[in-house]
């Protein structure tokens, strides 16, 4: 058993760390306050140039072919500085992976280079609807065949990067009579397609620089060639790809949790109360020990899930366990770290309040913690004969 990283993985981790420190960290606070879109998009472009938008995409399509572990490492490093940038990167990678997994050659050659190179600022993943969140099989968006085209009608909500995604992977019902989940297909819809309107960004609690929008489809006409994968086979794909996305979100949460604890750790060694460093108080030492132990366990679960995926093995349960644990423990880490700063944790001059807001969503999107528990327990019970 060898838990060490390969040279390439270390290189990518270092590269992401350096970029996060030099380019993201200095603007993260400003992005949170003012949502400086130009700076945000500029950073996405630079990340694409560094190969971060298609880390697990084959090189013939412009990807980095670096694998899932490298992807996880990179997202963690980016999230240490700016969770908004990290989530956009994670979702864009996921979109590229869907296309790579089930797209035909033409689709791959058309879209993957655009996503990987940054020609598209980002990719969008259009699954959730107002009445179909945790249970997307109940979606209502429809695609109806009309000659050589498909016509889309319906709404998708809470779609990351809605404002600036160059292409969306969109799921829609194509067989009304099929059982829930059985008659859903997957489509590629380019940003700016007539009939697709993007709602204004939601005013969120955290990850404020990343836009989250509603997509309105009104008689949105797309060509037959926009069908991604097989007709009526889209739901299986969505479920499969979400498992990969979960590694991304878990890695993101880990990054935010580590950033918070690293900040607090430093603070404890500098601040004095009662004539000594806070770091001398065992109550605080033990809080530190517990949170770092949990984050390290989260990291190992993520590495395990990424490894299984990289090997081509079934990794759904492992990804759910890793996401569940990493996002919950990262939340705890952010609250503990904030508490360790006392009054300074509460004010905006220090980054802890931002970490605590940013980490909050991680245990909700790409499947809530409960949904991860549903998946894990279902897999466990299935194996009991």
Partner 1 sequence: MNINFSKQELAFQTEVREFLQDYNDIDGFLSQGPVWPQVRAMFSAMGERNWLALTWPEEYGGMGKGHSYEYILWNEVAYARAARNPLSSGVVAKSIMRYGSDEQKQTFLPKIRTGEVHFSLCYSEPEAGSDLAGLRTKAQLNDAGTHYVLNGQKCWQSYAQDMDFLWILARTGKQEDRGRGLSLFICDKQTAGITVSPLPTVDDDQLNEVFFDNVEVPVAQRVGPENGAWAIIGEALADERHIQFPPGRVRRDLEEMVDWLNAQGLGDDPVIRERMAHLVSKVMEAEILGLRVLEAMEKGRNATVDAAMNKIVHTLTCQDIPRMVLDYGGPEALVNGYRPEQIWRQSIMETIGGGTSEIMRSVVSRQALGLKG
Ligand X SMILES: Cc1cc2nc3c(=O)[nH]c(=O)nc-3n(C[C@H](O)[C@H](O)[C@H](O)COP(=O)(O)OP(=O)(O)OC[C@H]3O[C@@H](n4cnc5c(N)ncnc54)[C@H](O)[C@@H]3O)c2cc1C
Give the binding site for ligand X (CB under 6 A): 91, 125-128, 133-134, 158-160, 204, 212, 271, 273-274, 278, 281, 283-284, 339-340, 342-344, 346, 361, 364-368, 370-371, 374
Closest to ligand X by CB, 53 or 303: 53
Residues in the chain: 385
First to last CA, the chain: 31
By beta-carbon proximity to partner 1, the closer residue of 56 and 363 is 363
Shortest reach from residue 83's CB to ligand X, in Å: 10
Q: Whole-number minimum distance, CB 91 to partner 1, in Å?
A: 15
Residue 203 binds which entry of ligand X, partner 1, none, CB below 5-8 Å type-dependent? partner 1
The stretch among 14-22, 181-189, 238-246, 359-367 that binds partner 1 (CB under 8 A) is 359-367
Partners of 28 in the β-ladder: none
Q: Work out whether 147 is an interface residue with partner 1 (CB under 8 A).
A: no
225 contact, one of ligand X, partner 1, none, CB 5-8 Å limit per kind: none
**142-171: burial string, b at 16+ Cβ within 10 Å, e else:** ebeeeeebbbbbbbbbbbbbbbbbbbbbbb
CA dist., res. 284 & res. 294, Å (int): 16
Query: Which residue out of 29, 328, 366, 370 is catalytically annotated?
Result: 366
Give the closest residue to 255 by CA, choosing from 54, 47, 12, 81. 81
Reduce the DSSP state of residue 165 to 3 states and report it.
strand
Distance from C-alpha of 233 to C-alpha of 186, rounded to nearest angstrom: 8
The answer to whether 324 and 243 have CB atoms below 8 angstroms apart is no
Answer yes or no whether residue 202 interacts with partner 1 by CB under 8 A.
yes
DSSP per residue over 131-156, as a string?
Answer: TBSS-GGG---EEEEETTEEEEEEEE
Kindly tell me which residue out of 348, 377, 378, 380 binds partner 1, with binding defined by CB under 8 A: 348
**Which region, judged by CB under 8 A, interacts with partner 1, from 38-46, 82-90, 239-247, 353-361?**
353-361
- Per rule CB under 8 A, count of chain residues that contact partner 1: 36
Near partner 1 in 319-338, by CB under 8 A: 335, 338
Is there a contact between 322 and 301 (Cβ–Cβ < 8 Å)?
yes
Q: In this structure, how many other beta carbons lie within 10 angstroms of the beta carbon of residue 138? A: 13
x/- map, 154-173, partner 1, by CB under 8 A: ---xx---------------
Interface mask (CB under 8 A) for partner 1, residues 121-140, using x and -? ------------x-------
Q: Is residue 365 at the binding interface for partner 1, with CB under 8 A as the rule?
A: yes
Which position's Cβ is nearest ligand X? 133
- Rounded to whole angstroms, the Cα distance separating 341 from 126 reads 39
Going by their DSSP bridges, the two strands 196-198 and 184-190 should be labelled as: unpaired
**Shortest Cβ distance from residue 99 to ligand X (Å)?**
15
Is 366 catalytic? The answer is yes
C-alpha–C-alpha distance, residues 70 and 10, integer Å: 8
- Least distance to partner 1, CB of residue 268, Å: 12
Q: At what angle do helices 25-34 and 37-49 cross, to 10 degrees?
A: 140
CA distance 302 to 68: 10
Residue 353: name its binding partner from ligand X, partner 1, none (Cβ under 5 to 8 Å by kind): partner 1
Sites of contact with partner 1 (CB under 8 A): 133, 157-158, 202-206, 272-275, 281, 283-284, 335, 338-339, 342-343, 345-349, 353, 356-357, 360-361, 363-365, 368-370
List residues with catalytic annotation: 366
């Amino acid at each position: 058993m060898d838990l060490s990283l390969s040279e390439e993985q270390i290189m990518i981790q270092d590269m992401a760390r350096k970029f996060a420190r030099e380019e993201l960290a200095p603007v993260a606070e400003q992005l949170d306050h003012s949502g400086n879109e130009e700076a945000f998009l500029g950073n996405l472009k630079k990340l694409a140039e560094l190969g971060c938008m298609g880390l697990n995409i084959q090189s013939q399509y412009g990807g980095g072919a670096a694998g899932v572990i490298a992807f996880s490492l990179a997202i963690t490093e980016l999230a240490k500085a700016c969770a908004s940038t990290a989530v956009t990167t994670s979702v864009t990678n996921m979109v590229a992976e869907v296309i790579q997994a089930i797209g035909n050659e033409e689709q791959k050659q058309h879209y993957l280079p655009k996503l990987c190179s940054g020609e598209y600022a980002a990719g969008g993943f259009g699954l959730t609807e107002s009445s179909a969140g945790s249970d997307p099989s109940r979606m209502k968006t429809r695609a109806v065949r009309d000659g050589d085209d498909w016509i889309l009608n319906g709404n998708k909500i809470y779609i990351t990067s809605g404002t600036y995604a160059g292409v969306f992977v969109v799921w829609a019902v194509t067989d009304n009579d099929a059982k829930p989940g059985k008659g859903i297909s997957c489509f590629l819809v380019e940003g700016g397609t007539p009939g697709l309107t993007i709602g204004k960004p939601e005013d969120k609690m955290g990850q404020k620089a990343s836009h989250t929008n509603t997509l309105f489809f009104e008689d949105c006409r797309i060509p037959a060639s926009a069908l991604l994968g097989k007709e009526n086979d889209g739901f299986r794909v969505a479920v499969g790809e979400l498992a990969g996305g979960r590694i991304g979100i878990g890695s993101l949460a880990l990054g935010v949790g580590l950033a918070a604890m690293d900040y607090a750790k430093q603070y404890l060694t500098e601040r004095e109360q009662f004539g000594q460093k806070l770091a001398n108080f065992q109550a605080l030492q033990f809080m530190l020990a517990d949170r770092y132990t949990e984050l390290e366990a989260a990291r190992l679960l993520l590495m395990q899930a990424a490894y299984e995926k990289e090997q081509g093995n079934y990794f759904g349960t492992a990804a759910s366990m890793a996401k569940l644990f990493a996002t919950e423990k990262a939340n705890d880490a952010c609250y503990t770290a904030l508490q360790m700063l006392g009054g300074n944790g509460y004010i905006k001059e220090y980054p802890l309040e931002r970490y605590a807001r940013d980490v909050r969503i991680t245990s909700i999107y790409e499947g809530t913690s409960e949904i991860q528990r549903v998946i894990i327990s279902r897999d466990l019970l299935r194996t009991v004969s």
